[in-house]
Amino acid sequence: MTKEGLGVIPDWKWYEKRITRIFQRIKGAKVEHNVHEMGQDTHRRRQIDIRIQVPLEVNLGQGFAFTIPVKIIVDCKKRKRPMGIGEVDEVAGLKDDVGAHLAIIVTPRGVSDGAMNRAKAVAVRPIVITKDLIAVAEGFWEYKFVPCCICEYTGDEEYPQPEVSWRSKVEGYCDWCGGLHIGCPECYEVFAISEVEYDQAIKCPSDCGAIFFVESPRAKDESQNLEIFLALDAMLLTAAYSKSTKRLTPNEVQKLVRRTRWQHWGEAPATIGVTESGYMEYGEDNNLYLTAEGEGWAKLIDGAVYPTCY
61-120 confidence digits (pLDDT tens): 888 888 888 999 999 998 888 889 999 999 999 999 999 999 999 998 888 999 999 999
**Identity of residue 95:** K
**Which residue, of 114, 129, 144, is where some domain finishes?**
129
Q: Does any domain span residue 309?
A: no
**Which residue, of 129, 158, 189, is where some domain finishes?**
129
25-69 confidence digits (pLDDT tens): 888 888 998 899 999 999 999 999 999 999 888 888 888 888 888
In this structure, what CATH number is given to the domain that contains residue 281?
Answer: 1.10.10
Q: Does any domain span residue 168?
A: no
Question: Looking at the chain, which runs of residues are DSSP E strands?
Answer: 30-38, 45-59, 65-76, 102-107, 124-128, 164-166, 171-174, 180-183, 190-193, 202-203, 211-215, 225-229, 247-248, 280-282, 288-290
Q: Does any domain span residue 225?
A: no
Q: Which of 300, 298, 5, 307 is nearest to 180 (CA)?
A: 307
- What whole-number percentage of the chain has pLDDT above 90? 45
Model pTM? 0.57
Instruction: Compute the mean pLDDT over every residue in the chain, rounded to the nearest whole number.
Output: 85
Q: Does any domain span residue 276?
A: yes
Name, in order, each residue with C-beta under 8 angstroms of 213's C-beta and a sequence gap of 6 or more.
199, 200, 201, 202, 226, 227, 228, 229, 300
In the three-class reduction of DSSP (H, G, I as helix; E, B as strand; rest coil), residue 225 is classed as strand
Whole-angstrom CA distances from 187 to 28, 206, 284, 292 are 27, 8, 36, 30
Distance between CA atoms of residues 222 and 178, nearest Å? 9
**Which residue, of 81, 97, 129, is where some domain finishes?**
129
Domain count of the fold of the chain = 2
Domain range enclosing 116: 3-129
